[in-house]
Amino acid sequence: MKKLMPIVATLLFVVVVAVIFVSLAQKEQPVTIVKGNTAFKPLPIKLGATNDTQCKMLIKTERNAVEVIAPDGRTWFFDDPGCMTLWLQDKAWKDKAKIWVHTLDTKRWIDAHKAWYGVKDATAMHYGFGAREKRCKECIDFHEMQLRMLRGENLTNPKIRKKLLGV
């Protein structure tokens, strides 16, 4: 009986470890990229199960979400237009990418290049560039939004935040 105890303990340990590995393997991993989007259309985002490619946060809402589709159909997801801008800046194919943004005003996916961007909106990463289909008084175009983002002229910059919000 004493000789069986170590064997039983070892077998029990192996079974527990195997159960843990099997349960981890069955968990659905967050989506980070989808291949084969040759229609170049926005894809449904699995909210709470899709990671922003730049900041790695889980995307919890379509509000201001962005999708970038490379010429080969690979699609990346973002929770904030600012994250998309930071990630896209060094991609060789950035000028050929199809970019979709979900708007605040019409709650639709539109071409991000045609959207208008507020400068002091509540966005996932607090950059402030909320997308709109219709132009607003303080809105800027896509090119200006990208320039400001890359220069650090967004609500995460204390000087810009104070200038725009007074706080």
Q: What is the average pLDDT value for the chain, to the nearest integer?
A: 90
Cα separation of 104 and 108, whole Å? 8
Please enumerate in sequence order all residues whose Cβ is within 8 A of that of 144, keeping only pairs 6 or more positions apart, or say none. 117
Radius of gyration of the chain (CA): 22
Which pTM value belongs to this model?
0.82
Name the burial class of residue 137, with classes exposed (0-12), middle (13-18) and buried (19+) by CB atoms within 10 angstroms of its CB: exposed
Cα separation of 127 and 152, whole Å? 9
Q: Token pair 């199809």 is at which residue?
A: 98
Cα separation of 55 and 80, whole Å? 9
Cα separation of 120 and 130, whole Å? 8
For 105, the 3-state DSSP assignment is: coil
Helices 142-150 and 81-88 cross at an angle (nearest 10°) of 70
Closest CA to 84 of 60, 64, 58: 64
pLDDT band at 115 (very low <50, low <70, confident <90, very high): very high
Residue 43's pLDDT is 96
Mean pLDDT, range 121-149, rounded to an integer: 97
Domain-wise residue ranges, the chain: 33-165
Task: Render pLDDT for 40-60 as a digit per residue (tens, 0 to 9).
Answer: 999 999 999 999 999 999 999
**Can you say how many angstroms the Cα of residue 79 is from the centroid of all Cα atoms in its chain?**
4
Please enumerate in sequence order all residues whose Cβ is within 8 A of that of 69, keeping only pairs 6 or more positions apart, or say none. 37, 40, 75, 97, 98, 99, 100
